Structure formats: C-alpha cells, structure tokens
Amino acid sequence: MLVNMKDILVKAREGHYGVIAPTIRSADEIKHAIEAAEHKNSPVILNFNITYDFVAEDADLELVMLVARERAMRSSVPVALNVDHGKDFATCMRGIHYGFGSVMIDASARPYEENVAITKQVVEAAHAIGISVEAELGCVGMGDPNFKIDGKYSHTTETNPNDVADFIEKTGVDCLAVSIGNAHGPYAKDIIPHINFELLDKIAEITPIPLVLHGGSGTGDENMAKACTRGICKINVSTDIAKSGSELAVEKLNENPKKGRLDFHTNFHQGYREKIEYYMDVFGSTNKA
C-alpha cells in the first residue's frame, strides 16, 4: 500500500527499528525494491534524487512516478515515495507535483537561519496538502573528501544538539537527518566510521520525532543496528546496493560471458535486491510491515 512516510517512521521510532530507503534509479529498481520489501514483510521508503542523479526530464519523471505509485498501491507492504536531497523549494514542489508523498529539503550546507527559513517554507506548503517533510541539521558530507558537489568540496558538520529543539519548533519538520559521524558514498580506505552514539542519544532525548541516517553504505552493520534501536528510523542506502548489483552482474559475466551478457540486468537486480533484504534484517524492519 502507498502510505505517507511519516506513518512508517512514527511506527519505527515506537518500535525501535529502522527502515531502509534505497536509492532508485530506474523503473526496474522500483519493482525490485518493493519485491524485496514484500519478501521480507517490511516497510520500505523509495528514495529518488531528482536534483542530481535521476530522471531530470519532466516527461521521464512523470512516467516513472506512474509506475512507482501504481506498484506501491498494489503492494502488500507499506511503501512511501520520497524526494531525496531536494536542493530548494522549487525542487520539492516539482516532486510534489509529480506525486511524491514526502520530500526532503536539504538546506544543511547553508547557515542555520537560512536552513530554518527554507525548511519552514517547504513544510508550510507540503503540510497544507498532507505531504511529509524531512530536513537535515548539521551537514552530512562525502566519505571521500575529494568529492565535489556543484563544483564545491563537500563538507561535514556535526549536528549541534543545542539547535535541535529550536529547529524542530520553528520549522515543524516531520523527521530529521542528523550528522553523527556518517558520510555519503564510500569511506576513505573503506574505514568503518566512528559513530557518535553519545550525540545520537542526546538528540533522541531532545526530540521524539524520527531521526534519519544518510550515507548508510559502509557504515558498519553493528553501528547501524545499534543506531536503529536509539532513534534512527530511516537509513538511506545507495552505494552498497548498486555495488552489490554490479558485482554480481560482473561475476556472472566472468563466469560465462555469453549467458552473463544476456542476463546482465537480471543479475544486477538480483544483487541489488539481495542487499536491500540483507539490510532489512540488520535494521530490524523484517516482519514489521
């Protein structure tokens, strides 16, 4: 069933488990992510980054959202459709126009007051029509320090716990992405990051709203399982599921080039899906649909 992201996350916070938000890059991935959730009897949040890496053209977005909404409605488990990293008000409104039930406004790299003002503007518009909103406080950068976004090096700033209550009160946001040692993409030299659980506990004590962990890939199963019992309710995963899909497809190609070529997409999707199912177990959402 197609549901509001807030409904999935409020239950997850109460139940002390996390829900995976896999990055979706094609209509095929919609099918496989939802089938993974049905197989595990788990809720799932499909993340679409319409700012940077997915279907920039409106015609494509309209088509993909027709598939996503239709498949989600037919699903036996709760499915939410979320705009990931909406970079501004216009991007979030574009997402809502095409049928997303929740949006992330990411103004986390801007000064605090600007982040508050933009988030508040998105929340007011989105809540007027029942759309839930995620925002980010502190800034989750890239695991690779040489990575650039919009020509600038990404930077990381830990969430300041002193800002949390003020930010939530002023913006009315439904869930909050935090920066507690996590980073997007692969970590340098594949090091498992140090997650600041003391900071997570402080934030979780300040607010009952669901917390979000971006950059799930490479963060370590133990870290993520622990975070899910301490306030983290949504974990974004992109790199690891794409890696799992491509590794399986290449392995099969090397084993048998002729068959591997014909089955390339099937094998990619199998690896992609297996990793999603694996993380549903790690995050504790299996059988929580």
Q: Show the site string, 47-86: x = touches ligand 13P by CB under 6 A, - = not.
A: -------------------------------------xx-
Contact between 223 and ligand 13P per CB under 6 A: no
Contact between 87 and ligand 13P per CB under 6 A: no
8-state DSSP, 2: B
Contact between 196 and ligand 13P per CB under 6 A: no
Residue 150: phi, psi to the nearest 5? 50, 40
Tell me the sheet residues that pair with 212: 177, 234
Is-contact 272 239, C-beta < 8 A?
no
Catalytic, out of 60, 84, 174, 221: 84
Q: Assign 3-state DSSP to the chain and report helix, strand, coil percentages, each to 5.
A: 50, 15, 35
Contact between 217 and ligand 13P per CB under 6 A: yes
Task: Decide if 144 is catalytic.
Answer: no
8-state DSSP, 75: -
Chosen residue from 215, 231, 245, 284 binding ligand 13P by CB under 6 A: 215
Tell the smallest beta-carbon distance from residue 258 to ligand 13P (Å): 32
Contact between 185 and ligand 13P per CB under 6 A: yes
Contact between 214 and ligand 13P per CB under 6 A: yes
Is-contact 123 167, C-beta < 8 A?
no
Chosen residue from 69, 94, 120, 184 binding ligand 13P by CB under 6 A: 184
Is-contact 263 269, C-beta < 8 A?
no
Tell the smallest beta-carbon distance from residue 25 to ligand 13P (Å): 12
Residue 175 neighbours by CB under 8 Å, 6+ apart: 5, 6, 9, 132, 133, 134, 209, 210, 211, 212, 233, 234
List residues near ligand 13P by CB under 6 A. 23, 84-85, 184-185, 214-217, 236-240
**Active-site residue set:** 84
